[in-house]
Amino acid sequence: MKSKRLHKSEGYVFVIFMCCVLQTILTAPLPDLHGLSNCDLYITADNTTQELKCSIQTGQVLDYRRVRGWTALQSTGTFSVHITCNGGSLHMPWPFKAKHVVALQVNGCKLFGFLSEMTQQQSVEDELRTLMLYKTTIVIPFADMYALRNNLDRIPRDTDCGQVTLEKLVLRDVHYDLQMTPEDRDRMSPIVHNTSIGHDAALLPTKSPCVFPNLKYVDESGSRKTGQYHLKLLPDYSVFPKLEVYNMSRNELSHIPDFFRYLHSDKYPSLRQLDFSNNILHSFEFEIPKNVKTCTLEKVDLHNNRIAFIPKETTDTLQNIGTILVDLRENPLRCTCELKDLRVYLEAQYRKSANMTRQLISEVTCSLRSAFHGTMDQVSLLNSGFDKKCG
């Protein structure tokens, strides 16, 4: 009996040993091929998931074209590429196409060479489904931007549209550093001074729409803050038949971009949630759809803006549609008769909503002057009696 138990124990040790060996093999560093010595390849046992993880330290530069070249040599499987910069930088031309790469995540990097291939004909098939950039600065020399502006007609169609195979796009806290020499500043014209980097509808010839057939989720939070320059990776002349969620929060926006003013558009017929929270909007600038049957929108998040009131015609339309919830928490709404119709709309939304949404609605407040102290108090719009004297 002792020998059998000992044999069984040895079997456990052998299994554990083999698992450790297998794990070591599956997470072994890549050989120094094509400059990828700062990357590791992780492969699951069934070979279904391959993750290329790169860590770029201070003083190091990773050229994404080397990643592109390496994945092109692989005969099987697809790859998720994760690049983290710890003081290092990344050379990465747009669009970020690479054979067999279906997911790409970049975190904390300074990104160079963005415009370097904009006028080149693309030879790599687009396979990317998920693109996520976090806390990334895209550095663009003024000379590159100026040259591109003067050659917009040379941008190939597939480059102009970008990554049309995407299902999810996250550009969170992405910023743009336009680098200018004194000579650049001297020759910069007023037209260029007011031009956005990227797709400018006024400068581009008329083109057919770029169609993103599978894109469902876009997050551009914290990435369009006020400044002279910003980047549009999704052209204004795009169509998103399956887009459900668009997040434009934390962008210091004082006005709604024209692309989103009409809440039900043929450009995004499946949109369910639109987030413009934590901006500096002063009014409700959307055009609300009149046809209830074609409206898929469920929520417009406007919390933490500077909206003081909502027009009666807007609340009447929202009330008639009945399916759109507007989140107005943390706005400087004033408890006046102008809010009477808004209160009716919120009460109707409260009655038909689940507990979590009810909590959200009950937190909408307005400012009311105290009859005893003369101070402005924040009171619940649902529970206050400010409208009792309204006609």
DSSP 207-219: -PPEE-TT--EEE
Bridge-partner residues for 132, per DSSP? 105, 170
Residue 93 has pLDDT above 90, yes or no: yes
Residue 43 lies in a domain: yes
Query: Contacts from 153-156 at CB under 8 Å and sequence distance 24+?
Result: 153/205, 154/119, 155/118, 155/119, 156/119, 156/120, 156/121, 156/122
Same domain (yes/no): 256, 373 = yes
| Co-location of 39 and 10 in the same domain | no
Overall average pLDDT of the 353-361 stretch: 89
Do 124 and 92 reside in the same domain of the chain? yes
- Residue 32: the pLDDT is 45
Same domain? 185 vs 300:
no
Averaged pLDDT, 99-103 = 96
Helix (H) or strand (E) holding 314: helix 312-321
d(Cα 277, Cα 221) in Å, to the nearest integer? 9
% of the chain beyond a pLDDT of 70: 80
Same domain, 183 and 70: yes
Residue 235 domain-assigned? Answer: no
Last residue of a domain, one of 168, 193, 212: 212
Q: Is residue 237 part of a domain?
A: no
Q: What is the mean pLDDT of the chain?
A: 82
Residue 10, pLDDT score? 47
| pLDDT the model gives residue 17 | 40
Where does the pLDDT of residue 174 fall: very low under 50, low under 70, confident under 90, or very high at 90 and above?
Answer: very high
The Cα 297–Cα 324 span in angstroms is 6
- Region 156-178: mean pLDDT is 92
pLDDT (0 to 100) of residue 181: 82
Are 92 and 162 in the same domain? Answer: yes
**Same domain? 133 vs 178:** yes
Q: Are residues 16 and 35 in the same domain?
A: no
Assigned domain for 217 exists = no
| CATH number of the domain to which 387 belongs | 3.80.10.10
Domain count across the chain: 3
Mean pLDDT, to the nearest integer, of 128-146? 93
pLDDT of residue 391: 63
**Looking at residues 159-183, what average pLDDT do you find?**
91
Quick check: is 271 in a domain? yes
Of 190, 212, 234, which marks where a domain is finished? 212
- The boundaries of the domain holding residue 36 are 31-212
More confident call, 94 vs 227 = 94
Model pLDDT, residue 56 = 96
Q: How confident is the model at residue 81 (pLDDT cuts 50, 70, 90)?
A: very high
User: Where is pLDDT greater, at 196 or 151?
Assistant: 151
The verdict on 161 and 306 lying in the same domain is: no
How far is 286 from 315, CA to CA, in rounded Å?
A: 12
Q: Are residues 328 and 254 in the same domain?
A: yes
Q: Is 40 exposed, middle or buried (0-12, 13-18, 19+ CB in 10 A)?
A: middle
Do 255 and 343 lie in one domain? The reply is yes
In a domain, 345, yes or no: yes
The reply to whether 86 falls in a domain is yes
318 is a domain residue: yes
Among the listed ranges 23-27, 155-159, 387-391, which one has the minimum average pLDDT value? Answer: 23-27
Residues 177 and 187 in one domain: yes
The reported pTM is 0.85
Instruction: Decide: 26 and 42 in contact? Cβ < 8 Å.
Output: yes
More confident residue, 145 or 91: 91
Q: Are 314 and 289 in contact (CB under 8 A)?
A: no
